Amino acid sequence: MPVDLDRDAFERLVDRALDDIPDELARLVHNVVVLVEDEPPEDEPDILGLYDGVALTERTSDYGLVLPDRIFVFRRPLMEMCDDLDDLTEEVRITVVHEIAHHFGIDDDQLHALGYG
């Protein structure tokens, strides 16, 4: 049975996942905002998260004066795939790590190999 968690409680799970990012990596995350949305885009209904931005590995010396990169965490699909709060907590953590990894230029194939698929 899917987990039913209100938005505030879900956002606290995302905050906790962000807090668990090691400080040495967190210090390297620049110009990024993390947003919780209830639903993923219509054209990608099964995704759990999305990185929208320019990875650090692709930024050039003229990168600047741009809006923050965005990481989206999609509440509904994450809750629907999980059977209990522990499972949801772990899936939120994996999703946050996965999307932050994209900020560092790590692609999906590398993430799958590392167990963050």
Percentage of the chain lying above the pLDDT 90 cut:
62
Instruction: Express the helix, strand and coil content of the chain in percent, nearest 5 each.
Output: 45, 15, 40
Give the strand pairing for 69-74 and 49-52: antiparallel
The answer to whether the Cα torsion of 111, 112, 113, 114 is positive or negative is: positive
| pLDDT the model gives residue 1 | 73
CATH of region 7-113: 3.30.2010.20
Q: For 26, how many CA atoms within 13 A lie in the half-sphere containing its CB?
A: 10
- What digits encode the pLDDT tens for the residues 16-63? 999 999 888 888 888 899 999 999 999 999 999 999 998 888 888 887
Map out the domains of the chain as residue ranges: 7-113
pTM over 0.75: yes
Are 100 and 21 a contacting pair, CB within 8 Å? yes
Question: How big is the CA angle at 107 (ends 32 and 21), to the nearest 5 degrees?
Answer: 45
Centre a 10 Å sphere on the Cβ of residue 79 and count the other Cβ atoms it contains: 17
- Please state, in angstroms and as integers, the Cα–Cα distance from residue 112 to each residue in 5, 61, 92, following that order: 27, 30, 16
